[in-house]
Structure 1
């Protein structure tokens, strides 16, 4: 196995395939490094593709100290993977929990990213639901500790935003649930409390986000209710953001609609690498939708 070593000594399991400009995939809470397989197989034809298991997700180490899990640490772990592979800059692609980490990477270390793809990121960001989200995160962590991942996985996998996946692709949905069932009980609980439940709302970061210049693709499913408004917020706030909304699609975008997701990502990366993804022209303001002046 290949490991990158995080700043605190935690070993992070890393897999890679292909050659070319680097794409680093960062997984969601219910997934792991294997959940990017449709993208690893497709993009490794032309790119150096990397995926890794976050701390708390075997075969990466599972630190027992709850303080070893946070949004900031998730970003430093991405940097540790890039450093361990001697990659100066990469196209960084994250889903959900990984999407938040990807965005925070752009805020804290923009020089390490050619581009950012922030997919399915938004749950807990809406201020009206923030308290509910944090309380739910605590309860989910407790269930992983008391019931265990093997028993709790199917309940978690039945969340509303994951049901479109089950409707379209029962086999794929079952594979997702089985992947979650193999999670470390302690790792899942610590991750839910420290990373998920402890991250700041996107809306509290508006000033920082508005100043970030990294080319960004925001992707949401139209049946992923709590990611739609945050997706629009990111589009309106990030200077170089584009927004793609996938029809009749829930939360697990890359597995639910792999062909469409790969197409969008391929075209985005091609545009960035050819210099054709500039920041939005801010003279194109809402008030100018129909010009009356010269």
Structure 2
């Protein structure tokens, strides 16, 4: 069921059996250049066991697009996440984020730990220092516009043969709708992010999944995160680039469920 709150477009899906509705919801946060439909293949799998809340980040999909002089901040993105949670009527949640969405859910957990049962991130980092490709975005937009930037992003996200052709076409077309000022604004926030100190006090379970071939996030960042947050699991997926949550949606959704099941059993 699609809804809107504070200019943020979100959707709630719930396919749980009537006798199995005691699980906590999962709130999904996508990254730069796409929308909540990046999770489309995850929904039927996860929603069979947990209420699923997805939303279009500010500036993407059907959510409001800020003006070109908008001042972006991580605090704003965290506030957006919790506004969606409130709009969906959920209090305590599992958080799942990909790319910058992963950084946002980590920051959201730091800001409101009492509302977070667990955090899962994919192809994401806790800091901007050491991330690749961001420095080239301004030139890519200037020389090729959003379509040129999107073509380069597709090369960074997907290896040859990764993903269904029509799915990749959808992804590129959606990504090419990205407004340059939105991508550059959020990219600047991501580049300046650093949750190093904050993560030392994070106590809830954290699951980190990284492709071994992302041009953006080095696996070393996952190793560092595991050392910082005391209750962290790290899984590295070989032979995959930055588009892991999309190109391997079904498999990754099952891994998320396995992680959540393990928490219920502990």
Compute the TM-score of the two structures, normalised by the length of structure 2.
0.86
Unmatched segments (≥5 aa) in structure 2: none
Identify the residue that residue 177 of structure 1 maps to in structure 2. 172
**Total equivalences in the alignment:** 256
SS of the equivalent of 1:197 reads: helix
1:64 is aligned, of 67, 75, 82, to: 67
Q: Which string of whole-angstrom CA distances, capped at 9 and with x for unpartnered residues, describes residues 27-83 of structure 1?
A: 121221111001112111121111110111131110115434222211110000001
8 Å CA contact 2:203–2:231 kept in 1: the answer is yes
C-alpha distance 173-58 of structure 1, shift in aligned 2 (>3 A): closer
Distance of 1:15 and 1:263 partners within structure 2: 21
Identify the residue that residue 155 of structure 2 maps to in structure 1. 158
Identify the residue that residue 290 of structure 1 maps to in structure 2. none
Distance of 2:66 and 2:245 partners within structure 1: 28
8 Å CA contact 1:66–1:194 kept in 2: the answer is no
Give the aligned CA root-mean-square deviation in angstroms.
2.3
Report the Cα offset of residue 157 of structure 1: 1.6
Distance of 2:213 and 2:191 partners within structure 1: 24
8 Å CA contact 1:24–1:90 kept in 2: the answer is yes
Distance of 2:64 and 2:226 partners within structure 1: 35
Q: Which has the higher helix share?
A: 1
Report the Cα offset of residue 170 of structure 1: 5.1
8 Å CA contact 2:127–2:195 kept in 1: the answer is no
Identify the residue that residue 15 of structure 1 maps to in structure 2. 11
1:77 is aligned, of 73, 77, 80, to: 80
Identify the residue that residue 187 of structure 2 maps to in structure 1. 196
SS of the equivalent of 2:189 reads: coil
Identify the residue that residue 149 of structure 1 maps to in structure 2. 146
Compute the TM-score of the two structures, normalised by the length of structure 1.
0.79
Distance of 2:212 and 2:149 partners within structure 1: 26
Structure with bigger gyration radius:
1
Identify the residue that residue 262 of structure 1 maps to in structure 2. 253
Report the Cα offset of residue 120 of structure 1: 0.5
SS of the equivalent of 1:60 reads: coil
1:25 aligns with 2:2: no
Report the Cα offset of residue 235 of structure 1: 1.1
C-alpha distance 108-124 of structure 1, shift in aligned 2 (>3 A): closer
C-alpha distance 124-135 of structure 1, shift in aligned 2 (>3 A): farther
Distance of 1:26 and 1:109 partners within structure 2: 16
8 Å CA contact 1:94–1:101 kept in 2: the answer is yes
SS of the equivalent of 2:161 reads: helix
Q: Which string of whole-angstrom CA distances, capped at 9 and with x for unpartnered residues, describes residues 129-162 of structure 1?
A: 6xx755334445x43xx75434542233222xx2
8 Å CA contact 1:123–1:227 kept in 2: the answer is no
1:211 aligns with 2:201: yes
